Homo-oligomer: A and B are copies of this chain.
Amino acid sequence: MSLQNLKIPTPTPNESPSAKSLISSLSLTPHPEGGYFIRTHTNPLTIPSPFPGQVGETRPLSTSIFYLLTPHSPIGHFHKNRSLIVHTAVRGRGRYVLVHESGKVETFVVGCDVEKGDVAQWVVEGGVWKGSMLGEGVGELLITEVAVPGFDFSDHEFMAKGRLADIVGLEAAEELSPMLRSEDQGLISS
């Protein structure tokens, strides 16, 4: 689909009462990527890190979180992980945008209405840039993420300004720039 039709939401000034209720029920806190989250499980089994250049390091076999986008925090900013992550929709609807280093851009609607075409379970492989946004007029997008092997900050990277344009070209980068963290926006063509 044309990236011009992406409808990237603008944050509302305040959190809605229903979002506040959900945040409270699940004890969520703000995520550096945008939205809210809570680490729900860390696998007690550990394995040697499977990632290159990490001799001697270990990872838990898996880690799991809840992740929530709301009208006040409707964007999950572009970033990548080394781990593969299995995502499942619990409530609401939204859109994911995946940018591969090859330049390929995938985008799809996620949610629980599978008969209508929502994607309810999706895998993002390590090394793929990932961004997400709340659906237009939707109250929340609540998902589970299971990272295998488990998440580690050293495996995480935000998409830097300029990098997006290098990968997808200037025009597409301009369309997608609201999905970068504000500190990663600015001069797309650096």
Spell out A's residues near B (CB within 8 Å): 21-22, 25-26, 40-41, 43, 45, 47, 50, 61-62, 64, 66, 84, 86, 88-91, 112, 114-115, 120-121, 123, 142, 144, 146, 148-149
Contact A21 B90 (CB under 8 A): no
Contact A146 B62 (CB under 8 A): yes
Of B21, B47, B86, B112, the residue contacting A146 (CB under 8 A) is B86
A120 CB contacts on chain B under 8 angstroms: 66, 90, 142, 144
A88 CB contacts on chain B under 8 angstroms: 88, 90, 144
Contact B115 A21 (CB under 8 A): yes
Contact A62 B148 (CB under 8 A): yes
Contact A86 B64 (CB under 8 A): yes
A41 CB contacts on chain B under 8 angstroms: 86, 123
Task: Report the minimum CB–CB distance from A126 to chain B (whole Å).
Answer: 9
Residue with the highest number of chain B CB atoms closer than 10 Å, among A21, A89, A114, A121: A121
A64 CB contacts on chain B under 8 angstroms: 86, 121, 123
Contact B114 A25 (CB under 8 A): yes
Complex CA gap A165/B120 in Å reads 38
**Given the contacts A25-B115, A50-B45, A148-B148, A121 and B62 also touching, CB distance less than 8 Å:** no
A21 CB contacts on chain B under 8 angstroms: 115
Complex CA gap A121/B143 in Å reads 10
Complex CA gap A123/B64 in Å reads 10
A50 CB contacts on chain B under 8 angstroms: 45, 47, 61
- For the A-B complex with A90-B121, A121-B144 known, give 16 more contacts whose Cβ atoms are closer than 8 Å: A21-B115, A40-B121, A45-B50, A50-B61, A61-B84, A61-B148, A61-B149, A62-B84, A64-B123, A88-B88, A90-B90, A90-B112, A112-B112, A120-B142, A146-B148, A148-B148
